[in-house]
Structure 1
Amino acid sequence: MDLVPQLPKSGRLWKSRADFFRPFRSAAAEAGENIAPLYDPAHHHEIEEGQDLKDLNTALGVLVEVFPDVEPEIFREMLLNVSEQSRVEIVTESLLKKGIRGRHRLRKRPAAKRAESHITTALRIEDTFRSAEYQKAVKQVCYQEFRSLSHSSIKAVLAEQNYSYTLVRPVLQQLKTRSWRLSFPSFWPSRTPSQGAEQHPSIIQDANAGLAVKRTGSPQLDHELYQLFVEPVLTKQRQESLRQDHKYASQINGEQATEADSLFDCECCFDAVPFEQLAVCDDGTHQLCFDCIRRAVNEAIYGQGWTRTADLTKTTVRCFAPADCQGGIPPTQVRRALADEIGNEEIWTTFQQRLTSDVLMKSNLNLQRCPFCEYAEIDDHQPTFRWPISIISTFLFWLTLFINHLFPIQPTLHASWTRIKQHRHGLKFHCLNPLCLKTTCTRCLTPWLDPHTCFSREKTSLRTALESSATAAIKRTCPKCHLSFVKSSGCNKLVCNCGYTMCYVCRQEITVKEGYGHFCQHFRPNGGRCGECERCDLYGDEDEEVAIRRAVEGAEREWREREGGSGGRDGEMDDVARRRMIEALVGQTSGVAWWEVWLDQVVDAVVE
C-alpha cells in the first residue's frame, strides 16, 4: 500500500492522460531507484559460499591435485557419498584400494593466461560444486533460451554437465537441431540454431554501453554470460578500432611524408616508404622496408629461405640487401615489421621458436626436450664427490687418469653416470611452455598417466606379434575348409572334419591311393633320420622349438623395423628411443653386464 499514489481530494482530477500516469511513474521510480537491472563487470564480486560448499570444493581441489588424471566427476560423486569427517582420506583410500582404471581424463590445453604451476593441476570452475543459487539461475536461463526443448531434457543435460552453462549450451544447441517438437519459431528456417549475443534472452542492446547482461540472480552466472557473449564482442570491436586507427595513422603519415619529401628508398625493392616503415641493419649501411622483411621471414619459415635468412649467432634476420653485408636486422625492428598490424604476433612467435630450436640443436648441449613442443631444459648438473670421498679425491683423480691411460674408461663412466642420473631424477618431465604444460615420460616420450607403464602400447603390440608368429609356426590350416588346428599327439597323418587328409610335417595332401605310403616304411633300430629315403616320418615331430624361435626372431625383427619407422618427432624413432623401448620391453638389466651393475652401484655411492 506504500506505493499507491495519493489522489487529489477536490477539483478536476486530471487535465490530460499524462497527469493520470504521472503519480504511478513517480512512485515506480522511487521504488526502483536502487535496482540495477544490468550487470556491471566493474563492480563484480563473488558471493561468499556456504561453509559446506566451501569445504566440498576445498576437498575436491586437493583430490584433483593429488590425482590429476582422474575425472573430477568421480570425486564429486564420492565426496557426496561419504561423511563430512575425513572426506579426503576416505576417498583417497578407496581409490588406492579399488584402483582408478577407466577413470582417466585427457586434460585440455590450458590458456596462456591461466597457466600457473607446471606441477599443480588447477581445478576448473566448471568442475567445482555449484551453489543452489547458480543452479537455479542456469536452469531459468536455459528454459528461456531453449523453449523448443522439454524441461526434462534440459534438466538431464544440466545434471550431466554439472550445471555449467558454458558446457551445457553447446549440448543443448545440438539437441535443438534434432528436436522434433514443433514451435512457432521453427517455421522460420532462416533462424540459425546457434544464436549470437544479440539474440540471447539474457543479453540486451544498451544505448549507452552497447551489449549488456541482464541480471539473472547469480553474480557468478552474470560474469559467465559476460565472458561468453559480451567480452568477445567488445574485444573484437576494440581490435577493429585499433586496426582502423593504425591504418588511418599510417595513411596520414605517408601522405605527410610525401608532401615533405621525407621518403626513403628500400635497398631491396627500391620502393619509397616513410621512416617509420624502415629498418636499418646493425652495420648502419642498409635500409630495408617492413614489407621486404615480412616477405623474407615468411619465405624463411614456410619456404626454402631459412638458411640464407636466419642468423643463428644473433638470433635475428640477416641483412638481405643486394650488397655483400654481414650485418643483421635488430630483433626489435624485425618484431615491429612482423607485428605491424595490431595484434599480429603469431608469425613473430613462430620465427623465435624456429630460431631457438635451431640454436639448441647446434649447441650440442645435453638437453631434455618436451615431445609435444619446442621446450627444452639443459641438464647441467655436474657430478661432485660426496664429502667423505672428497678427502681422497686427489688420489682417485690420479688413479683414474692412470687407468684411463691403460684402458679408455671415460665413455663407460659417462654411460654409468647417465644411468644413475636418470634413476635419481625419475622419468616424469614437466613442460614449462605456457601453451603446452604437459607431463611426459622421458623414456617412452608419451603423456604421463598414473599409474604409468612405459611403452604399454608397444608391449601389447610386440607380445601380440610374437604370440601370433609362434602360433603360426606350429599350427596347420586346412586348404579346403580353412580350419586351423594344432597336433597334440598321434601320427602325422591328419584328417580334417571336411575329409581332407594332409601331412603334418610337409603339409602335402595325402590321397587315398597313397595313404600311409607317404611316410617312411624303413625300419630304424636306433631312431633318427632315415638313410635310405627322404620321406616324412609317421610319428616323428619336427623341431618345434627351432621353428618357434625362428618365427619369433623374424616377427621381432619386422616389429622393430615397423615401430622404428613410425615414432619420433619427425616420423622417425632415433636410436636412443629405440634402445629405451627395447629395454622397457625385454627388461631394464637384460643387456647390462654384471660389471656395469657393479659400476653403477660404485658411482652412485661415490658421486652426488
Structure 2
Amino acid sequence: MSDRPAHTGEITLPDQDDKDNHLTGLNRSLSVLAIIFPHVLPDVFRELLSTYEGESCLHIAVDQLLKHQDAWVKGRWRTAASDPKDEINSSQGNQLLVAAEDEFRRDSYKWATRAMLREEFKSLSKSKIEGVLAEENYCYTRARPTLQRIVSKSWRNSINSFFLRWRKPAEPPSQDHWMMVWPKDGVKAKTTPILRETGDAELDMELHRTVLAPFLEKIKQERETKDWETSLVMNEAEAQVAGAIYECECCFSDTTFEQMATCTTGDHVICFRCIWHAASEALFGQSWGRNIDHARGQIKCLAATSADSCDGCIPQSIARRAIRQCKGGKEALAKLESRLAAEALLEARQRLINCPFCSYAEIDELYIPPSTIRYRLKTTDPITTLFLLTLLLTLLPLLLLYTLITRSPLFSHLPKPTALLFTSLTRLSHAHHFPRRFQCRSPTCYLPSCLACHKRWLDPHICHESASLSLRTTIEAARTAALKRTCPRCGLAFIKASGCNKMTCTCGYIMCYVCREGLGDEKKSGEGYRHFCQHFRLNGGECRECERCDLYKGEDDEVVAKRAAARAEKEWREKEGMVGVEGLGGPMEEKAKRMWYTGDWTLQGFVDWWIDGVLVC
C-alpha cells in the first residue's frame, strides 16, 4: 500500500478516462441493484461488484442475491432513512436509492481523504485509519467521528485530559473545524472563514456542505439576532427622547409605536410582549379558551382597562409578526396555526383523512355509489364473528335505550345510532376502495403513510406487518453493524466468530480485530503476533506492563452487540411509538390494546371495531 501526500492541484493519471468510465459503470450497476433489492444495504452491493469483476458482474450479483441472499446480506438490511431530509425526499420520490456516500469512490477522493485524516489524527497508525476508512467506504464525514472516538479512548488523551483538568486555559478552546482558516487582511483577521483546499473537488464540496455552510449560517443568524436587538434598543432610546412612547393597556408598560398593536375595534393598544405571552399561555398553559377567539381564529383583545370585555381581536398579520420575532416564535406560530386549523376542521364535521405523523388532514372526497357496495359476514374467523354477534344481542336492550334517549330534545347533540352505523359502513367501504397510500402535503412532514395500518409507506409495503418481526430485523442489523470489520485492501466485510484477534483476509491482508491496525502481509515479514501483548499474566488477567492488544481477549463482542441492540431497540420504540409496550404483536392488535387499556376510545370507535370484525366489503 503506497502513501500519497495531499495535493493542491488536479490529479491526472494516464488512464484516468478508463477508470472514470469503469467507476461510472460500477455506480450504475449499484443503482440497479438498489432498485431490485430496496431493503438491502449498499455495502452488500459494493462487496458483490468488487468480488465479481467483468462485464457480467451485475448479472452474477443479481443471481447471487436471488439464490443466496441470506448468506450475502447477513443482517445488513435497510431499516429506515437516517436523515430527516432523506425521508422527505424519499416521500417525494426524488431520493436516489444509493447516496453519494455509498457509491464507489474515485482514487483522488480516497487519497485526499486519507491524507487529511492522517494529518489530523497523527497519534493513530496509518493502518488503523485505513481500517476505519474501509468500514465507512472512505467517506470523510462518516469516518471522522469514529476516529475521534478511538482517539478519545487512547492513553495519551486520558493523560492530557487529566492535566488539563488542573490547568485553567488562557482562552476557551476553538470549536472550529481544523480545516477552517481565518484569512487576514493585513494584520486584522477577516470575519468570514474559508476552507483549505484538499486536492479533490468532491471532497472540497463535501466539506463546504457539512462544515462551512452550517457555520456560516449560524454566524448569519447570530448577526441578524444581534442587529435586531440593537435596533430595538436604539429605536426605544430615540422614541424616549422624542416623547413617542405609548402605554400598553394590558401590562401598562411603555413601548414604542413599532412594538404596539391595535385591536380590531380600534379602542385599545397592546404591546407585542403581551401578545406573545397570550399565545404562549394558550398553547402551553390553560388559557386556550380565554385568549383565543375560535370563531375568527384570532387572539382576543387583552386590554384590562375597559369596563366591559372588548369584542375585538388582534389582527392576524400583526399577531404573526409579534410571535415570530420572539425566541422560538416560528415553532410556536406553526403550532398555533396547526391547532386553529385542526379545531376548524373538527367544527366543520367533515370526513377527514389524517396524517399519522403530524396534524395535517384532508377532506375525504371519494364518492362510492351505494348500489355498488356489497357487504357480507366475515368468515375468515367464525369464532370472532359469532362472539361479536352474540355481543350485539346481549347489548340490544342498551341499544334500544340509547335510541330513545337520542330522540329526546335534551340529548339531541348525541349521535344517532343510524349515523354511527352509516359512518362505520362508509369507513369500511373506503378502506376497501380508497388507495391505501396517503401522501402528506405538510412542508414539515411530507411523509407517505398507509391508510390501513397507519404506518409509514415503504415500497414494497406490507400492511399490518408484525411489529416483533420489524423489531427483530432492526436489532439484528444493529448487532451485525457493531461487530462488522472491513478489509482495507479488498473491501470484504467479515465478523469474527471465534479464535484469536489476528485476522487474515482472503486477499492476504492481516489486521488486528480490536484496534483495526494492519499487521503486515503473510508473504512478507510483518509485525504479526508482536503487535499483541507478550507478557505473562496470572489467570489470564489484564497486563500491567504494557497497553498492547490482547491476542484472545479484547472488547467483549457480546457486550458491544447488546449495547448496539439496546440502542437500536430504544430508537425503534421511540420512532414507532411503542415505548413501554410489552409482548409486541401486530400493529392493529397493539392499537386495539392501547385503546382499551388506556381508555382512549369513543362510541364511534367501538362501532367501527364491531363492524370491522363482523362484515367485509
Contact 2:437/2:448 (CA < 8 Å) preserved in 1? yes
Q: Could you list the per-position Cα deviations for residues 336-385 of structure 1 after superposition, in whole angstroms to 9, with x for gaps in the alignment?
A: 11122588522222222222233333332222222222222322122369
Equivalent residue number for residue 292 of structure 2: 310
Q: TM-score, normalised by structure 1?
A: 0.59
Structure 1: how far apart are the matches of 2:140 and 2:452?
41
Equivalent residue number for residue 27 of structure 2: 57
The higher relative CO (CA closer than 8 Å, separation ≥ 6) is in 2
Contact 2:464/2:588 (CA < 8 Å) preserved in 1? no
In the alignment, is residue 333 of structure 1 matched against residue 318 of structure 2?
yes
Structure 1: how far apart are the matches of 2:162 and 2:457?
51
Structure 1 residues 268, 107: CA separation in 2 closer, same or farther (over 3 Å shift)? same
In the alignment, is residue 73 of structure 1 matched against residue 43 of structure 2?
yes
In the alignment, is residue 167 of structure 1 matched against residue 177 of structure 2?
no
In the alignment, is residue 158 of structure 1 matched against residue 127 of structure 2?
no
Q: Secondary structure at the match of 1:264?
A: strand
Equivalent residue number for residue 356 of structure 2: 371
Q: How far did residue 304 of structure 1 move?
A: 0.6
Equivalent residue number for residue 4 of structure 1: none
**Pick aligned residue for 2:462 from 446, 452, 455:** 452
Contact 1:266/1:289 (CA < 8 Å) preserved in 2? yes
- Stretch moving more, 73-82 or 212-221: 73-82
Q: Secondary structure at the match of 1:345?
A: helix
Structure 2: how far apart are the matches of 1:255 and 1:111?
44
Listed as ranges, the matches of 1:122-161 within 5 Å are 122=96, 123-161=98-136
Equivalent residue number for residue 255 of structure 2: 273
Taking every aligned residue pair, what percent have the same amino acid on both sides?
A: 31
Structure 1 residues 182, 310: CA separation in 2 closer, same or farther (over 3 Å shift)? closer
Q: Secondary structure at the match of 2:193?
A: strand
Listed as ranges, the matches of 1:242-281 within 5 Å are 242-281=224-263
Structure 2: how far apart are the matches of 1:415 and 1:182?
65
Equivalent residue number for residue 591 of structure 1: 614
Equivalent residue number for residue 424 of structure 1: 433
Q: How far did residue 205 of structure 1 move?
A: 2.3
Q: How far did residue 48 of structure 1 move?
A: 13
In the alignment, is residue 204 of structure 1 matched against residue 198 of structure 2?
no
Structure 1: how far apart are the matches of 2:216 and 2:286?
40
**Pick aligned residue for 1:440 from 449, 452, 477:** 449
Structure 2: how far apart are the matches of 1:272 and 1:141?
57
2:232 is matched by which residue type in structure 1? Answer: S
Structure 1: how far apart are the matches of 2:446 and 2:87?
12
Listed as ranges, the matches of 1:524-539 within 5 Å are none
Structure 1: how far apart are the matches of 2:344 and 2:444?
21
Contact 2:8/2:197 (CA < 8 Å) preserved in 1? yes
Structure 2: how far apart are the matches of 1:106 and 1:359?
34
Structure 1 residues 195, 260: CA separation in 2 closer, same or farther (over 3 Å shift)? closer
In the alignment, is residue 287 of structure 1 matched against residue 269 of structure 2?
yes
Equivalent residue number for residue 403 of structure 1: none
Structure 1 residues 60, 247: CA separation in 2 closer, same or farther (over 3 Å shift)? same
- Stretch moving more, 160-169 or 174-183: 174-183
Q: Could you list the per-position Cα deviations for residues 369-409 of structure 1 after superposition, in whole angstroms to 9, with x for gaps in the alignment?
A: 2222222232212236999xxxxxxxxxxxxxxxxxxxx99
**Pick aligned residue for 2:337 from 352, 366, 370:** 352
Contact 1:429/1:441 (CA < 8 Å) preserved in 2? yes
Structure 1 residues 125, 327: CA separation in 2 closer, same or farther (over 3 Å shift)? farther
In the alignment, is residue 234 of structure 1 matched against residue 224 of structure 2?
no
Q: Secondary structure at the match of 2:456?
A: coil
Structure 1: how far apart are the matches of 2:259 and 2:599?
42
In the alignment, is residue 176 of structure 1 matched against residue 151 of structure 2?
yes
Contact 1:317/1:329 (CA < 8 Å) preserved in 2? yes
Q: How far did residue 142 of structure 1 move?
A: 0.9
Contact 1:57/1:128 (CA < 8 Å) preserved in 2? yes
Structure 2: how far apart are the matches of 1:73 and 1:149?
25
Structure 2: how far apart are the matches of 1:69 and 1:573?
36
Structure 1: how far apart are the matches of 2:55 and 2:603?
53
Contact 1:293/1:338 (CA < 8 Å) preserved in 2? yes
Structure 1 residues 117, 53: CA separation in 2 closer, same or farther (over 3 Å shift)? farther
Structure 2: how far apart are the matches of 1:561 and 1:75?
37
Structure 1: how far apart are the matches of 2:588 and 2:85?
38
Structure 1: how far apart are the matches of 2:269 and 2:348?
32
Structure 1: how far apart are the matches of 2:470 and 2:81?
25
> How many pairs are equivalent?
429
Q: How far did residue 78 of structure 1 move?
A: 3.8
1:454 is matched by which residue type in structure 2? Answer: H
Structure 1 residues 57, 250: CA separation in 2 closer, same or farther (over 3 Å shift)? same
Contact 2:177/2:211 (CA < 8 Å) preserved in 1? no
Structure 1 residues 371, 560: CA separation in 2 closer, same or farther (over 3 Å shift)? closer
In the alignment, is residue 105 of structure 1 matched against residue 90 of structure 2?
no
2:442 is matched by which residue type in structure 1? Answer: N
Structure 1: how far apart are the matches of 2:341 and 2:40?
35
Q: Secondary structure at the match of 2:444?
A: coil
Structure 1 residues 137, 271: CA separation in 2 closer, same or farther (over 3 Å shift)? same
Q: How far did residue 253 of structure 1 move?
A: 1.2
Q: TM-score, normalised by structure 2?
A: 0.59
User: Which stretches in structure 2 are left out of the alignment for 5+ residues?
Assistant: 1-6, 11-16, 373-416, 472-582
2:180 is matched by which residue type in structure 1? Answer: I
Contact 1:38/1:212 (CA < 8 Å) preserved in 2? no
2:272 is matched by which residue type in structure 1? Answer: F
Structure 2: how far apart are the matches of 1:147 and 1:227?
25
Q: How far did residue 117 of structure 1 move?
A: 5.0
Q: Secondary structure at the match of 1:566?
A: helix
Structure 1 residues 318, 344: CA separation in 2 closer, same or farther (over 3 Å shift)? closer
Q: Could you list the per-position Cα deviations for residues 18-68 of structure 1 after superposition, in whole angstroms to 9, with x for gaps in the alignment?
A: xxxxxxxxxxxxxxxxxx9799xxxxxxx9992333344344445546655
RMSD between superposed Cα atoms in Å: 4.6
Structure 1: how far apart are the matches of 2:87 and 2:130?
33
In the alignment, is residue 118 of structure 1 matched against residue 95 of structure 2?
no
Equivalent residue number for residue 221 of structure 1: 203
Structure 1: how far apart are the matches of 2:253 and 2:202?
55
Contact 1:353/1:374 (CA < 8 Å) preserved in 2? yes
Q: Secondary structure at the match of 1:313?
A: coil
